[in-house]
Amino acid sequence: MPQDSVEKPQIYLVSPPELELSHFLPDLSACLDSTEIACVRLGLATRDEDRIAKAADAIREVTHARDVALVIENHVQLVERLGLDGVHLTDGSRSVGKTRKTLGQDAIVGAFCGNSRHDGMTAGELGADYISFGPIAATALGTGEVAEKELFDWWSMMIEVPCVAEGPLTEALIAEFTPVTDFFGLGEGIWDQDNPAAALSRLVAAMG
């Protein structure tokens, strides 16, 4: 198949864990206006419900005005209340079945499964719309275990459920993983730049 006929991965934009809306909203708007984005994920570190709701309301206005889906990390009970499109679960397959029943078939339900092929397959069988694997590069965060390219190779050949490659992502890694993933989860290395939209465009360009 000619390279130019191969469908490139879509971009899945991940918010920083801490954000100031007055700065983040213009940066997010610029990113959405400059690059085609499939979905935005709100993953705040805070447990303050009011802060999360305020951020979700403001970000939803930006994303929905551009027909971009907005999902929230883990807070299943806030999805319908805040008019969001779905949830991104970080406990692998454990909550997928229950969450699907709670939110119904129309909501987006994604599952982060680290580097576990088995957990990813289980999450897919339970109704996850996508499986997220990562990190695809060494990091001091989390367990330090890396999701190898071999996992994505196998998944892309054997499993129909879309997969997301999570960061930290570089231009070299994006070029390497472009043939074997459906989405790139981009966020790290973007929001801390002076021009996040330009940083995003550079990474997207690496897909070729």
Q: Which domains does the chain have, with CATH numbers?
A: 3-205 (3.20.20.70)
Burial (CB count <10 Å: 0-12, 13-18, 19+), residue 171? middle
CB 117 within 8 A of CB 154: yes
What length does the chain have? 208
Please give the pLDDT value at position 157.
Answer: 95
Question: For 152-208, what is each residue's pLDDT tens digit?
Answer: 999 999 999 999 999 889 999 999 999 999 999 999 889 999 999 999 999 999 998
Confidence of residue 6 (pLDDT cuts 50, 70, 90): low
CA 190 to chain centre: 14
Confidence of residue 141 (pLDDT cuts 50, 70, 90): low
Compute the average pLDDT of residues 2-14.
76
Confidence of residue 138 (pLDDT cuts 50, 70, 90): confident
| Amino acid found at 138 | A
CA 53 to chain centre: 19
d(CA 101, CA 36): 31
Question: For 20-79, what is each residue's pLDDT tens digit?
Answer: 999 999 999 999 999 999 999 999 999 999 999 999 999 999 999 999 999 999 999 999
Please list the helix, strand and coil fractions of the chain in percent, rounded to the nearest 5, in that order. 40, 20, 40
CA-closest candidate to residue 130, choices 146, 108, 97, 151: 108
Element (H, E) at 87: strand 86-89
Confidence of residue 3 (pLDDT cuts 50, 70, 90): very low
Please give the pLDDT value at position 167.
Answer: 81
Structure tokens at 46: 């805070």
Locate all alpha helices (DSSP H) within the chain, ordered by sequence: 21-34, 49-64, 76-81, 96-103, 117-125, 149-158, 171-177, 196-205
Name, in order, each residue with C-beta under 8 angstroms of 46's C-beta and a sequence gap of 6 or more.
18, 52
